[in-house]
Amino acid sequence: MVLIGANAASGAIPIQHLLQETTMSDHGIARDQLRAFIERIERLEEEKKAIADDVKEVYAEAKGSGFDTKVMRQIIRIRKQDRNERAEQEAILDLYMHALGMADAPAPDYNPD
């Protein structure tokens, strides 16, 4: 049996039921509902593209003002992180840099627990 959706427990619809429902009537609810979902997703994809284009423009503007966009992207990625997650990553990075002789001071003791 082919299901539309993740699985039967999540409310997935058997495709045979969906096909029967749409063939019983030219304007079946399932067809209309499917079309509505598809159109909503298409609109959201268009909005997502427009936002991505806007973000690119802001980066271009920042670059034109002399800012390093690679570093800006890194800052944005860091700001999305949880404070504890960021501190842990920084400690591991510092430990690795010391292990490779890339840092000036001796490596601090690192204990993730």
What digits encode the pLDDT tens for the residues 65-98?
A: 999 999 999 999 999 999 999 999 999 999 999 9
Residue 20 to residue 31: CA distance in whole angstroms: 11
**Which of 90 and 11 is assigned the larger pLDDT?**
90
The answer to whether 14 and 1 have CB atoms below 8 angstroms apart is yes
Q: What are the pLDDT digits (tens) for 20-68?
A: 554 545 567 899 999 999 999 999 999 999 999 999 999 999 999 999 9
CA separation, residue 48 to residues 51, 52, 54, 55, 56 (Å): 5, 6, 10, 11, 12
d(CA 63, CA 68): 6
> Which residue ranges make up each domain of the chain?
3-80, 81-113
Query: Is the pTM here over 0.85, yes or no?
Result: no
